[in-house]
Structure 1
Amino acid sequence: MKVLLINGSPHNNGCTFTALAETAEQLEQNGIETKMIHIGVKPIGGCTGCYKCMELGKCAFNDDVVTSCLNEMETAAGLIIGSPVYFASANGNLISLLDRLFIVGSIRKLFAHKPGASVVSARRAGTTVTLDVLYKYFTIAEMPVVSSSYWNMVHGNTPEEVRQDLEGMQTMRNLGNNMAWLLKSIEAGKKAGVVLPQSEKKVMTNFIR
């Protein structure tokens, strides 16, 4: 089993990476493979609502990191998204990536019933708002949300300061343990004959007629 971790910070080895790495290490200790993708610093175009993905099964703009994340989700059993806090919300590049990732991934059934979690990093404030933004992607895609012993956040202005946030780092480790447990429980359920739930055909209701 493999968990994909998306580092949504422009800094490859910064505070968000430090938090994700702590969770990844705990997953590895539980026998779960991990793969981390850094979204980088190049601008990521947002979803244009062209709906070409409905025809193609992929984003019409398939030359960036979104394609890499989609390919990894083909074999990933879980997903963890990490983001710094910018102006009390997630990194804009990450939001652009997630908008495209989740519409295509939902069409291709890459997310349903796979555990998901978010991790956020801030110098001071905006963490709970950012978590709320990120968790909405999971809850529209039928993903079980993995919790920890506190909200999944760390505080610090540098990786060294993040490591001094002992409660935050403990929260990251507990998140790794909880996700490993849930992944193994799902796998055990499948082996015992527990069938994944089947979704009804999507109903779209418009309120203006």
Structure 2
Amino acid sequence: MAKVVAFNGSPRKDGNTSILIGHMFEELENEGIETELVQVGKKKVRGCTACMKCFENKDGHCVFDDDIVNSCIDKMVEAEGVILGSPVYFLDVTAEMKGLIDRAGFVSMANGGLYRRKVGMAVAAVRRSGGSRTLDTMLHFLLATGMVVPGFPVLGVGREIGDVHKDEEGIGRARDAGKNIAWLLKIKETAGDS
């Protein structure tokens, strides 16, 4: 059975980003795809120091092992699909999400492309400004690491927890993204491509 893991960069465990991911998961689970949500926001996530030890060690991990990043890398490697989600914080992703993508990206490159040809998707919750840039930051990670993005990323509008439920277009995009991920995973499975 295929599996999709989502990384929620929001410090609000049940906030708007999580709600959007939940709608994507619903569509994936309807297609028999296993899902897992990893709460990254509000966890200790160190930023990348560009020490390049991952290129020396080539062991599939970051040399810093005092936070959740190596566990997240393992989950990305094991899954067939990866969703990155973040609310907009000062016109971009949260610091935790940035730390994750910087370090996971370097480790992937250092080890020959750990996430190549996995299915990836980005989702952002926005109040007003910075949604495009936030999605762009996460999309750059997905594309730079060789993932395939099936369709337009998800953007939901809402400030207070639950406000995103009022954004019918955002919810529709989340559902559509879940269907697109499931569709592509089924094609990959049929083709036997990993």
What's the TM-score, normalizing by structure 2?
0.92
Shift, 1:125, TM fit: 1.9
Report whether the alignment pairs 1:124 with 2:125: no
2:154 maps to which residue? 152
1:83 maps to which residue? 86
1:61 maps to which residue? 64
Report whether the alignment pairs 1:171 with 2:173: yes
Question: Quick check: which has more Rg, 1 or 2?
Answer: 1
- Judge conservation of contact 2:44–2:67 (CA < 8 Å) in 1: no
- Judge conservation of contact 1:106–1:112 (CA < 8 Å) in 2: no
Residues 133-157 of structure 1 deviation map (CA, whole Å, 9 limit, x = unaligned): 1111112111111214xx4100111
SS at match of 1:86: coil
Residues 147-181 of structure 1 deviation map (CA, whole Å, 9 limit, x = unaligned): 14xx4100111232111111111110000000000
What's the TM-score, normalizing by structure 1?
0.86
Number of paired residues? 190
SS at match of 1:90: coil
Gaps of 5+ in 1: 197-209
Gaps of 5+ in 2: none
Percent identity (aligned): 37
Higher relative contact order (CA 8 A, sep 6+): 2
Q: Distance in 2 between matches of 1:44 and 1:160?
A: 26
Q: Distance in 1 between matches of 2:163 and 2:175?
A: 17
Q: Distance in 1 between matches of 2:19 and 2:109?
A: 29
Root-mean-square deviation (CA, aligned residues, Å) is 1.5
Shift, 1:101, TM fit: 1.0
SS at match of 2:104: helix
SS at match of 1:89: coil
- Matched to 2:185, the amino acid is L
Q: Distance in 2 between matches of 1:16 and 1:126?
A: 15
Which of 125, 136, 140 is the equivalent residue of 2:140?
Answer: 136
Report whether the alignment pairs 1:4 with 2:8: no
Q: Distance in 1 between matches of 2:77 and 2:43?
A: 24
Q: Which runs of 4+ in 1 moved over 4 A?
A: none
